[in-house]
Structure 1
Amino acid sequence: MDTGRLVVGEARDGSEVGLPVAVINGASSGKTLYLQAVSDGDELNGLGVLTRLLPQLDPAEIAGTITVVAIANVYGFQVAEHRNPIDDTKLNRAYPGDPDGSSSERIAHATFQAATDADLVVDLHQGSTSQMIDETRVRCGRHHRQHDACLELAQVFDAGHVLDQKGPEGQLARAAPDAGIPTIDPELGGTVGWDESSIEVGVRGVRRVLEYYGFLPGDAAPKDQNRATGFDRYGSPVGGLVHLQQELGAPVQPGDPLFTVTDPLGTEKARVHAENSGIFWRARRLPQAATGEYVCSVGTGIER
């Protein structure tokens, strides 16, 4: 095992900027797994997974190679911001990147080269600072040639829920399958800072991947999970204070109450109900909301 820095450019003072990386070469041959965290600078649960998992790994017990980029969006991480403040770009919309492009495009290019040298990619995320269930995203689209392999990888990771929906252009979990690499995007809850329960889900998930694909001995296998194929997003019809009526992960039916909105003195101004059946997937953390501001999401088209 060795650690170092993947150089991605220079800071405003001319000093070299590098991403913290590790490479673990196992005692015997096997596949290569690429792990990445903190593509979004305020999403830290993935980094929590790596800080707990990596010290537990013994190269003598490993078959194959594990490559790690612990902090991809290093500029955003330094100032605790979601986007890269150098170019005001969301790094996970910049793949496959450009070696001569903007700051984010250069980071995307450098990390994409490492990712596409692997056989499998796990790009660790979380639901930003919103409240969200633990889930794994398959972002290549159901008709993609790598879809079944990506879904199998998600079922092995076993975060409890899967979102199987084609993602936006520029996501690593879309770009890497185009290059023939099965890739998943685990979204480990959502929090400010670290959430220990979601981090434990991530540690267990990566270990399951290592066992199933032969990096470590073990008997992990794919697990059927609730799989959503879309989202219903709900905004506030009025301004005020939001009171959620559902717990994360709860099943909802059409007409079930999702949230109410009151004025500062507690008088109810609006009540919002589910339009379709699904799972209460994600919700804003702060109670105050303006007219039209995002409040929550329900995962829809549930399959197993």
Structure 2
Amino acid sequence: MTTLGTASAAPGEMDTGRLEVGETRDGSPVELPVAVVNGARDGETLYLQAASDGDELNGVGVIQRVVPRLDPADLAGTILIVGIVNYHAFQVAEHRNPIDDTKMNRAYPGDANGTSSERIAAATFEAATRADLVLDLHQGSTSRMIDEVRVRCGPRHRLHRECLELAKTFGCGYVLDQKGPDGQLARAGPDEGIPTVDPELGGCVGWDESSIQRGVEGVFNVLRGYGFLDGSVDRQRQTRATGFDQYGSPAGGLVRFQQELGDEVRAGDTLFEVTDTFGSLKARITADSDGIFWRSRRLPQVATGEYVCSVGIDIDSY
């Protein structure tokens, strides 16, 4: 019997339930939606979670579409799922937990006696450390971004190669291979010996069906590639960046992009222009380095110094 919160499943069974992680301001329990899919055959364990940032909903869309397609009779091993991690932020469609103004994906491995975010991180990290592989589903918040997978352990980490292989198996086509900030699950997981990656499924307000479908395909690639399900995966070469050039606006006005997401850019290519309300050019911004047009703001209006876009740099394939 495998349990996660109140979900409990014997081999060949599936169950859903709730994982209590604290109380709200009126004393009601805070309970995260969880699922256990226990395969009929022995195998490894995959941990899958979404919405540790409360406005990043594409991962929730992935889980919503993946779980109904899972048949425990066909599965080897176990899948542990937390469908919504950042409970408080999800309720109000905000990025950070409004109870303690914390970005959840900076709170791992958490503290069972700490703040709201630290307690949630501790409970979900306990589940994650029961697994052999971890997928932490994200998106580029509400900005526009390509579909990618982030390897955050850093190139010198002992599990770097295993995390890269997991990213390649997921197969978004693009990988950011850059050591992440402290407190990320994709940093904390490898420190516990568990290959962990952070699929960033586009970026949108609400959710985007094409990115969700890419995530669904990625999860099933992992399930097949690591023997949870029968079948093979054609591991395609991935385009990898190991850093970003980020660009702000040198003037206030309206942004007019000259590149599309995923475009290859060369140093000196125009990335965007800024005009005034009447269309007169105020600034033209060019790329500092060769790379991939990776991420951009959604709204056209900018103030001086405000973030506009990012270019993935130091590009190769693997």
> Per the shorter chain, which TM-score range?
over 0.9
Contact 1:152 1:222 (8 Å CA) reproduced: no
- Which residue pairs with 1:122 in the alignment? 135
Q: Which residue pairs with 2:11 in the alignment?
A: none
Distance 1:81 1:211 in 2: 34
Q: Which residue of 2 aligns with 1:164?
A: 177
Q: Given the alignment of the two structures, is residue 14 of structure 1 paired with residue 37 of structure 2, yes or no?
A: no
> 1:223, CA displacement in angstroms?
2.4
Distance 2:211 2:217 in 1: 10
| Alignment equivalent of 2:271, drawn from 240, 258, 265 | 258
1:220 aligns with 2:197: no
- 1:205 equivalent in structure 2: 218
Letter in 1 for 2:242: T
1:30 is paired with a residue whose SS is strand
What are the residue-to-residue correspondences of 1:34-49 with 2, within 5 Å? Answer: 34-49=47-62
CA contact (8 A) 1:138 1:165 kept: yes
SS in 1 for 2:16: strand
Within 5 Å, give how 1:24-43 maps onto structure 2: 24-43=37-56
Partner of 1:138: 151
Measured after TM superposition, the shift of residue 221 of structure 1 is: 4.0
Amino acid aligned to 2:182: E
Give me the TM-score of the superposition, normalised by structure 1.
Answer: 1.00
Is 1:92 aligned with 2:105?
Answer: yes
Which residue is equivalent to 1:5?
18
**Which residues in structure 2 correspond to 1:272-283 (within 5 Å)?**
272-283=285-296
Letter in 1 for 2:282: K
What is the match of residue 166 of structure 2?
A: 153
Output the CA distance in 2 between the equivalents of 1:57 and 1:265. Answer: 55
CA drift at 1:222: 2.9
- Structure-1 separation of matches of 2:115 and 2:237: 41
Identity %: 71
- Identify the match of residue 94 of structure 2 among 74, 81, 94: 81
1:222-250 deviation per Cα after TM superposition (whole angstroms, max 9, x unaligned): 32110000000000000000001100000
SS at match of 1:199: helix
* Equivalent-residue separation in structure 2 for 1:31 and 1:222 (angstroms): 20
CA distance in 2, matches of 1:27, 1:220: 22
Q: Distance in 1 between matches of 2:262 and 2:72?
A: 37
Using the size of structure 2 for normalisation, the TM-score is 0.95
Which residue identity does 1:174 align to in structure 2? R
Amino acid at match of 2:157: H
Question: Per the alignment, in what secondary structure is the counterpart of residue 156 of structure 2?
Answer: coil
Q: Structure 2: how far apart are the matches of 1:167 and 1:197?
A: 26
1:229-274 CA deviation, whole Å, 9 max, x = no partner? 0000000000000001100000000000000000111111000000
Distance in 2, Cα, partners of 1:120 & 1:223 = 20
Q: Distance in 2 between matches of 1:185 and 1:263?
A: 38
**Please, which runs of 5 or more residues in structure 1 have no aligned partner?**
none
Query: Aligned Cα RMSD in Å?
Result: 0.5
AA in 2 matched with 1:68: I
Q: Secondary structure at the match of 1:233?
A: strand
Question: Aligned residue pairs: how many?
Answer: 304
Q: 1:62-81, aligned counterparts within 5 Å?
A: 62-81=75-94
Letter in 2 for 1:229: T
- Mapped to 1, the partners of 2:230 and 2:271 lie a distance apart of 44
Give SS of 1:163's match.
strand
Q: Provide structure 2 residue ranges, at least 5 long, that are not aligned to the other structure.
A: 1-13
